[in-house]
Structure 1
């Protein structure tokens, strides 16, 4: 494998980096922390010594360090967008370290979210207002508020809160939950969770919300983390230890169930977390167990168990250990285990599409339990701040992911029956370097660059051992570079490139025979081989960040994807790999947007267009089997958000997002070539979505939050003569849901939280249930459900 063949080089490189980090410094040093007026940390703040070229940027913990400073007296200045620059005199002695902590006061253009920092856009912490991309950040509080109503479904948490992301399917999978009409790459601390070689639709719900510190969503095609981010990426950033505490913890227990129809619906949930930072060592450890009861719709019927969230047992184990070697060097180890299995006492009784739903009835299900058997994630990271020549900072990370999920049994689809599963194993190594190039008053620049190594082995087989999708072994070597420059203090320019060098080995294989109409087809023997892809993708963006009332940006970005290669291989009709349509998808994304902060009111808007010469819209080839449609695509849309601090203890806001897309098909008849445009189906394009929220805290101990989401109508297709719709083309009609979260803190240690999903007990069908056009998927969403949790911190 590629990773193994490079191990000696990587070990040598790691040794050199660690050796550099241990070099003693012979000149004076200045270090400290940059905070706001309330004591909050300001990651990404710029720190420099006036009349010199010495400068640095505060890290994620707000700390900075300047080295090799000649002895003398200096004026140190710290600055951060939205804050007044702060200055402080500091004396430096040779061979000594001076401490200079700086506190910045609010500036004229300070807004609600100026201190938000994002790392997923460029692998380096930077204020979101200085990043020329479209992004959404869900902080820990927002994740907790959303998850209080839907604790067992992280896909609902992000789907309800992120403009441009499709709504949850109300199932274990996330089919159709695209980002801006294209496929999204899901990460946990930068570790890929998606399986683009054979997309399994289980990546958004791949970790428990209890261990998430924040969620970063980058919108628009991006290649910064590699294969699969056609529409953007979702990065779940896991928790860090609470500083200033040597040993602390949080214990929670909860009960949940259906409100109007409680029979057999009660479930339980418990979490135990420990954290602390004794000296240079810090740690977070967490364990969660969740067991749900039967899920019922608003009328009391048992929701179909097929890929359902009812009667599931979910486990999540998490640990993060860190050690500060010194003020500039740190090592960190993380591991997370996630498992979610369904053991249902019900069978699916098919309804009639468009008339009445499929439901669950008592019975013994065939096959083994559905669900994600395991999702292991781990990384080991070394970070060194300004430890290499030219004040270069380094981050070296090795990571691993092992994923297995099982789907429902198909007694007739496969010849002799069968039940499929996806197995994916990834190992990777990332080297990130950051070098400041220019640190002047009106101009500054820095270069972030590095190398990614990734090995990805993915297969889809049946539980009896038969291979449905052959074992695909991908190796990718990808160098990249990203330049960030600040011009005239307020123009932020970014541009970069990434070179993908991908090899995919496919062995000889024979396709499984599957049902097509009333006969079985397949059994094609395919000669394997190695697929090679060498592509360079680019990005560029410009943001103007001077004024609070107008903060515009424009950007261009490209993304690379081998999405659904496995689906193409498993439905092969040719007997040689080279004759199959295995070309990659390269997406070109254009967007322009702006944010505006007018006192207590914050507004933002963005318009985007993405194009690709080849797509992967899944269409029914006429026998119920979905295959990628390899045709040029154009997707476009816009997003609007508004937030208002109406009163000191009352905040309201909302969003509106709309996306549409078409493919261009080419046909030839009588020697004449004809092009026609067709709408992309519901597997790709979500209906319009609106959200609204209210946060009210009448007094310090009590807080109340209301979250409303509206899913609009999309009816682009017509039925056939029999009144049936092709897969993905069913009409989607509108519905609205209201969720409630309230919490009361009895003391500094004890609190009680009540979350209610679908407060009004509306009867509705999720978009997936509507656009698939099949009776098996035509299931109602949850009726009103409660989740009551008591928490004790120590």
Structure 2
């Protein structure tokens, strides 16, 4: 593995030193303004010199300036959310300033959006050879008006991601049939060493600028991204005022039944003082009782009712020079349930599990805290034209689950996870000829992840897993004749895991059933690759193909806690390596935008969850997952836009491991992994301060398994019946400062069961989703 690491960095250093061959001593400058079709400035538009890696954002007046540009012909690429990107050819003269004015036209096509998560560099979707969904600020605003639960927002907006569970966790909310990695500004939130399923709902949407979802196995970010990743990009300072802000106060509740009223308050401040800028935000929410469409109290087990939610956020930055910046981000999130109800089992397939008044056993459950701290230094020209981004970060996560009688004497489990990381990311532009340019992004991730699961009374269920990972990587991107984008990259995983000696949980008195397990060290080394190409000359047909691998040690804790051997060396702890193949295209035909993609992924060893004798175990067998997604958006006229998407996924396991997935012993993957087909559609209208967003979601059926001789379904194998929901968001700008919003979830008050309530196949989890709920918000901007 060491020679591979040396090879990666040797290539990187060669590129770093070689770039000076193309540099010129005398440089030029380009400056200008970016405006919309009404001749108004467009702030925060991204202006990039193609092939150079140099880029800036416009200020509140739409102005920009880029210095130290090599003389000669150059191409400006200007892009901003909600506008069609534009390219403009310019001429740079040595020692001179070129002045330009750019006008952007409004557009709904995602091809024009700018992202950073796919390659760890700023690029537009038109350059990215993979499937990406970006949830823009406008979409976050509308969807959070319907429900301020981020799991609901991404569950609706992202094709290929399972629908929301309506619970504190996201178990079963997979991405393209596989597990996903959740990030906040690139900081890992997931706990793949002991997957707790509370990573999607780890931040409040009020502090999210946008969400970038990279679909399909990815070698870019490391452990846990088998199905892709979700990166929550937090808010950044806007404008040049010393102080500005936005205040919100709201009421939430069901339209049927009592004790459902909750409330929510948030306050944000932002501003710029010379070279210093800041964003500060605080949010508090208390939910009332959650009821279903019939007015019955929804089961409090892992529920969202009677919950107190806190989010505190700050981001402060200081610009030493035009090219050097230091930025500090901190976010705190907490969600704890204080319910006066206890579970009353339902009858699977007949009547729902509900909540009835009673005293809950144990301590309050939920995510007690999730601290994220990120210190970032950027230098756009650290050596020649090479830019540097360096991050030091930490995450401190603690979550508590409901009391369970499955433990001897009953008990509550908790997961504690602490991550510390260092990330160094460099980018060097390359110029091979007048027709071929590119850049290389390279660096390393250093991560220490310590995760454990115990019972709150001190009994160890999963011992402390101490993982250290050093992963150098390099990603080369090239642009051929301005239209063909070709990428390739590699990442070398070097993982060492320390596990202490431990005893499995006793199943009876005096330690009965407990097994002493000798710990030790597990080493994992792997080199994973990715490659792809996108041809972007024609907006009406913008095709791409890609291949990418992922590497993860997923849910090692589940293997450890179910151990029946006396040493970890005898346990099945091999990693999951996924090969993902994908092809698709995007089209822009006037007012119509259309995208489609087909994917196919394989893994020699998967992690299909089974329940055996009351114990959850990970079934390791070869897996094959495939599916497709399509999306369409059409601007009807003026402020009216309609659109929707369809996502289908299926998966099978080679149970007899004979290389054939169609044998009599082979099986479909469980529905806790494979989600039913999902359709979403929307109609958006905006005019003179009024915004209305009507959306519809249909979740299809999945029935692949048979019950046992007693008529009981295994975990994840019960049939899923389809359901559909209508939601409405409306907002009106009453004055320049005041804005009134109303969101209605489940507009038609449909009685339905989320997929997680159905695929479990038992009485305790057969819980209905929310009945009609409202969210009334008054906002004040200053």
TM-score (norm 1): 0.90
Residue 465 of structure 1: CA displacement? 1.1
SS of 1:210's partner is: helix
Counterpart in the other structure of 1:565 = 556
Residue 27 of structure 1: CA displacement? 5.7
- Classify 1:667/1:439 alpha carbon distance in 2 versus 1 (closer, same or farther; 3 Å): closer
1:585 equivalenced with 2:583 (yes/no) = no
- Classify 1:75/1:527 alpha carbon distance in 2 versus 1 (closer, same or farther; 3 Å): closer
Residue 702 of structure 1: CA displacement? 1.1
Counterpart in the other structure of 1:32 = 31
- Classify 1:773/1:736 alpha carbon distance in 2 versus 1 (closer, same or farther; 3 Å): same
* Pairing partner for 1:707 from 695, 708, 711: 695
1:133 equivalenced with 2:151 (yes/no) = no
Counterpart in the other structure of 2:171 = 175
TM-score (norm 2): 0.92
Mapping of residues 201-240 of structure 1, within 5 Å: 201-240=197-236
1:654 equivalenced with 2:644 (yes/no) = yes
CA RMSD of aligned residues (A): 2.3
Counterpart in the other structure of 2:738 = 750
Deviations 1:654-680 (A, max 9, x none): 000000000001289xxxxx8732010
Counterpart in the other structure of 2:685 = 696
| Number of matched pairs | 745
1:686 equivalenced with 2:702 (yes/no) = no
Alpha-carbon distance in structure 2 between the residues aligned to 1:526 and 1:714: 40
Counterpart in the other structure of 2:422 = 429
Counterpart in the other structure of 2:471 = 478
Deviations 1:759-793 (A, max 9, x none): 00000000000001111110000000000000000
Residue 537 of structure 1: CA displacement? 0.4
- Classify 1:197/1:84 alpha carbon distance in 2 versus 1 (closer, same or farther; 3 Å): closer
Counterpart in the other structure of 1:8 = none
Counterpart in the other structure of 2:8 = none
Counterpart in the other structure of 1:51 = none
Deviations 1:519-575 (A, max 9, x none): 997411011000000000000000000001100000000001101100000000010
Counterpart in the other structure of 2:66 = 65
Q: Is the 8 A contact 1:42 1:115 kept in 2?
A: no
- Classify 1:232/1:663 alpha carbon distance in 2 versus 1 (closer, same or farther; 3 Å): same
Q: Is the 8 A contact 1:556 1:590 kept in 2?
A: yes
- Classify 1:592/1:42 alpha carbon distance in 2 versus 1 (closer, same or farther; 3 Å): farther
1:399 equivalenced with 2:396 (yes/no) = no
Counterpart in the other structure of 1:383 = 378
SS of 1:40's partner is: coil
Q: Is the 8 A contact 1:342 1:369 kept in 2?
A: yes
Counterpart in the other structure of 2:7 = none
Counterpart in the other structure of 2:305 = 310
Q: Is the 8 A contact 1:42 1:58 kept in 2?
A: no
Deviations 1:212-267 (A, max 9, x none): 00000000001211100000000000001111222100000000111122x00000
Residue 43 of structure 1: CA displacement? 6.1
Residue 115 of structure 1: CA displacement? 3.0
Deviations 1:694-739 (A, max 9, x none): 0012x31211110110000000011112211001101000000001
SS of 1:227's partner is: coil
- Classify 1:101/1:303 alpha carbon distance in 2 versus 1 (closer, same or farther; 3 Å): farther
Counterpart in the other structure of 1:14 = none
SS of 1:409's partner is: coil
Alpha-carbon distance in structure 1 between the residues aligned to 2:107 and 2:196: 43
List runs of 5+ in structure 1 lacking aligned partners.
1-16, 18-24, 49-53, 669-673
Counterpart in the other structure of 2:362 = 367
SS of 1:297's partner is: coil
Alpha-carbon distance in structure 2 between the residues aligned to 1:47 and 1:150: 40
Alpha-carbon distance in structure 1 between the residues aligned to 2:666 and 2:757: 26
Counterpart in the other structure of 1:21 = none
- Classify 1:42/1:243 alpha carbon distance in 2 versus 1 (closer, same or farther; 3 Å): closer
Counterpart in the other structure of 2:317 = 322
Counterpart in the other structure of 2:13 = none
- Classify 1:33/1:476 alpha carbon distance in 2 versus 1 (closer, same or farther; 3 Å): farther
Residue 83 of structure 1: CA displacement? 5.6
- Classify 1:229/1:68 alpha carbon distance in 2 versus 1 (closer, same or farther; 3 Å): closer
- Classify 1:608/1:364 alpha carbon distance in 2 versus 1 (closer, same or farther; 3 Å): same
Deviations 1:493-542 (A, max 9, x none): 00000000000000000000248xx9997411011000000000000000
1:616 equivalenced with 2:607 (yes/no) = yes
Deviations 1:574-622 (A, max 9, x none): 101110000000000000000111100111100000000000010112x
Alpha-carbon distance in structure 1 between the residues aligned to 2:677 and 2:437: 41
Alpha-carbon distance in structure 1 between the residues aligned to 2:470 and 2:397: 22
Q: Is the 8 A contact 1:304 1:349 kept in 2?
A: yes
List runs of 5+ in structure 2 lacking aligned partners.
1-15, 17-23
